[in-house]
């Protein structure tokens, strides 16, 4: 069942065309990634979805025109408020929805263990490491209990090792919740590891150049077998994004494989 459906979504800023007709869909319980080069207009797409800006084209949710707050949004950097303790950062979305702070805290507290944040409820964001801050940001995102998660390069600001750990962790936690999720990233490996399907964007003005299904079973960090299959998909997508490299043994001057 399609939940989110975009048809021919376009956006220009003055003469600058950013999105040149984006059509995609996300089904219930599906993890979909939008993969594209930097500056392709990925974040513009998210701003359109969250209603921060307006564009042309059709955005539908569950068949009806997209309206109101359907998404829980996780921005690029964690955007934790330094003046709120972790638990009060986690309750932020619920408070904005009008829930009392005490009630929101009760709702959020049981999730801290699952997010690897047990014992840090009363910590300030400045006391947490980058990975923990991102987990707190995701916690803040999912407790809003919206229909769908929008993740905007959530691990982009982390160092490589922490990012890899966070990707694995997200895959694990996603499997037990099956959130409907749309991830924006320029990290091909991240997209392959996490997604059911991947839309590959062109450079600006962005259009969808390819849709890749990722049929690998989950969990995906279980075996090196799977890692090899994932690597093949990854290489294939990189070819789409960067163009196919010319292998040395296909070079006419050095072709000794006759």
- Sites of contact with another protein (CB under 8 A): 47, 50-52, 69, 71, 73, 75-77, 79, 81-83, 92-93, 95-97, 116, 119-120, 123-132, 144, 150, 158-162, 164-165, 168-169, 172, 219-223
- Closest distance to another protein from the beta carbon of 38 (Å): 17
Task: Reduce the DSSP state of residue 97 to 3 states and report it.
Answer: coil
Across-strand partners of 181? 31, 149
Kindly state the smallest distance separating residue 246's Cβ from another protein, in Å: 35
Smallest gap from Cβ 65 to another protein, in A, equals: 18
Least separation in angstroms between CB 250 and another protein: 36
Cα dihedral angle (18, 23, 29, 32), rounded to 10 degrees?
Answer: -50
Closer to another protein at the Cβ: 74 or 241? 74
Closest to another protein by CB, 104 vs 241, is: 104
Q: Which is nearer to another protein, 87 or 200 (CB)?
A: 87
Q: In whole angstroms, give the CA distance from residue 112 to residue 95.
A: 18
Q: Which is nearer to another protein, 10 or 85 (CB)?
A: 85
Closest listed residue to residue 139, CA positions, set 114, 104, 171, 103? 114
**Length reported for the chain:** 258
Confirm if 182 and 26 have CB atoms less than 8 A apart: yes
Shortest Cβ distance from residue 245 to another protein (Å)? Answer: 29
Question: Hey, what are 201's tokens?
Answer: 């964007």
Token couple for 172: 């694990």
């Amino acid at each position: 069942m399609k939940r989110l459906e975009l048809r021919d979504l376009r956006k220009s800023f003055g003469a600058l065309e950013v999105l040149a007709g984006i059509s995609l869909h996300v089904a219930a319980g599906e993890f979909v990634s939008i993969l594209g080069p930097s500056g392709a207009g990925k974040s513009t797409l998210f701003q359109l979805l969250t209603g921060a800006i307006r564009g042309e084209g059709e955005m539908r949710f569950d068949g009806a025109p997209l309206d109101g707050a359907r998404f829980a949004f996780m921005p690029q950097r964690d955007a934790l408020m330094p003046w709120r303790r972790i638990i009060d950062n986690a309750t932020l979305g619920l408070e904005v929805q009008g829930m009392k702070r005490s009630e929101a805290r009760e709702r959020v507290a049981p999730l801290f263990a699952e997010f690897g944040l047990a014992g840090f409820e009363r910590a300030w964001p400045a006391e947490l490491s980058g990975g923990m801050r991102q987990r707190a940001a995701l916690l803040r995102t999912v407790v809003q209990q919206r229909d769908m998660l929008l993740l905007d390069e959530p691990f982009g600001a982390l160092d490589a090792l922490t990012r890899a750990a966070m990707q694995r962790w997200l895959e694990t936690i996603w499997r037990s919740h099956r959130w409907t999720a749309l991830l924006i990233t320029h990290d091909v490996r991240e997209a392959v590891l996490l997604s059911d399907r991947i839309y590959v964007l062109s450079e600006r003005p962005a259009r969808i150049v390819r849709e890749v299904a990722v049929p690998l079973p989950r969990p995906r960090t279980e075996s090196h077998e799977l890692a090899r299959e994932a690597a093949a998909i990854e290489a294939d997508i990189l070819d789409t994004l960067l163009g196919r490299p010319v292998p040395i043994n296909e070079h006419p001057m050095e072709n000794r494989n006759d």
